[in-house]
Every structure is written in C-alpha cells, then in structure tokens.
Amino acid sequence: DAGVIQSPRHEVTEMGQEVTLRCKPISGHDYLFWYRQTMMRGLELLIYFNNNVPIDDSGMPEDRFSAKMPNASFSTLKIQPSEPRDSAVYFCASQGGSYEQYFGPGTRLTVT
Amino acid sequence: ILNVEQSPQSLHVQEGDSTNFTCSFPSSNFYALHWYRWETAKSPEALFVMTLNGDEKKKGRISATLNTKEGYSYLYIKGSQPEDSATYLCAFNTNAGKSTFGDGTTLTVKP
C-alpha cells in the first residue's frame, strides 16, 4: 500500500484565491481526518469523516473552509477565499479498526 | 471535552542519557492510547498502540507503559541518540473513533 497520499505537496497562492487540497486514504480505512499544523497551535483537528460521512467539523475555523468525501478513496479540503493566516501545513490521516492513524506527507500552503 | 496532557513540553538531554515523559488522559471510557513520533518537516508516525491496563510495549531503545486506572502512560528512551530528537505525541481514544492528541513533548538530544 502506498500509504496516505496528499496533493499538492506545496501550494503557493495569492490572497483571495480558492485552494483545494486532496487526500487519498489507505484502502479499507473507514475514518479520515484533516489536521492543520501551525507554530502557534500545533496540530489542530479540523474535521473528520467516518464511512464518508462528516462526523465532527467543529474544528473548521470559518465558513471559508469546507471538506467533502464523495467516496471512500478521496477527500478534499477547500479554502475559499484564502487568506495569509491560512498558511500552514495541512495533514490528512486515515484510520482503521486499531484506531491508529496513518498520516500523509502533508501539504504546505503559503498564502501571500 | 477530553483533556490529554503531556509533560514536559520540551526536554534537552545529552547523547547517552535515558529519559522519560508522561501522557495523562481521562481514566473513564478508555479504548486505546497511542504514541506517535513526529520529526521536523515530516508527518507523525505511529510508535505504539496500547489497549490494556498494564500494557508494556518496546521498540528498540524506546518503550512505553500504560495505567488506565489512573490515566497515564510513560514513554521511555534508553541511551538517547541525536536521531531520537523529535516531538512525541500521545493520543487517547474512547470507542467513538476520534483520537484526542496531546500537545507533545519535544525532545532534543545533543551530541
């Protein structure tokens, strides 16, 4: 298995633009998590899905953030419009029955 | 709200020293406790998962213990090496599926 795949690995965009981050979880895992890493707040949980259904989105900072999981093998995190304070590393992680999370390599987002 | 606390926040040791740090979690509704290792510029990687009171796990020079009744886990590193420098995260699970992470202990091992 290739592990959790995230794309792009790096994204540089201008303020106001739409940003879409993508994640392919490990096959067979029924949980998917989106996290954000910042210097100030460490690892923050944004939203998580169970069997493609959003369970808890209380960590999503604002309405500018949205996430979808149309099927078991794909999820997106969208920011529209993006702002400089959204600059961070965004991790996707998937989890199976052992509740052990497998993290993707992350997407480093820079909003100028 | 589930509080998972790790201490100390950071730790600096000399190469060869042994060290340990603590993860505290709620003692009710326990399902699993995980330790992750997070190196700078990489993503967190799972070290151990523990589910039973009294569990002890070992991987090389790193080991962990679990006390679910009092709600704590210790991570031990014997003979620290510079390559052990990382942030060590613990994560607590009830059976609801979501992990609650602590803020981590950042270990720096000086050669």
Q: What is the pLDDT of residues A74-89, one digit of tens each?
A: 999 999 999 999 999 9
Q: What is the pLDDT of residues A31-73, one digit of tens each?
A: 999 999 987 777 889 999 999 999 999 899 889 999 999 999 9
Helix then strand then coil, % of chain A, to nearest 5: 5, 55, 40
Which chain B residues touch A92 with a CB distance below 8 Å?
none
Interface test with A, best of B29, B49, B59, B99 (most A CBs within 10 A): B99
pLDDT at B96 over 80: no
pLDDT at B105 over 70: yes
Distance between CA B45 and CA B37 in Å, rounded?
A: 5
Quick one: tokens of A71?
């099927």
Please report the pLDDT score of residue B100 as a whole number: 87
Cβ distance of B93 and A99 shorter than 8 Å: yes
Distance between CA A39 and CA A108 in Å, rounded?
A: 13
Distance between CA A47 and CA A64 in Å, rounded?
A: 14
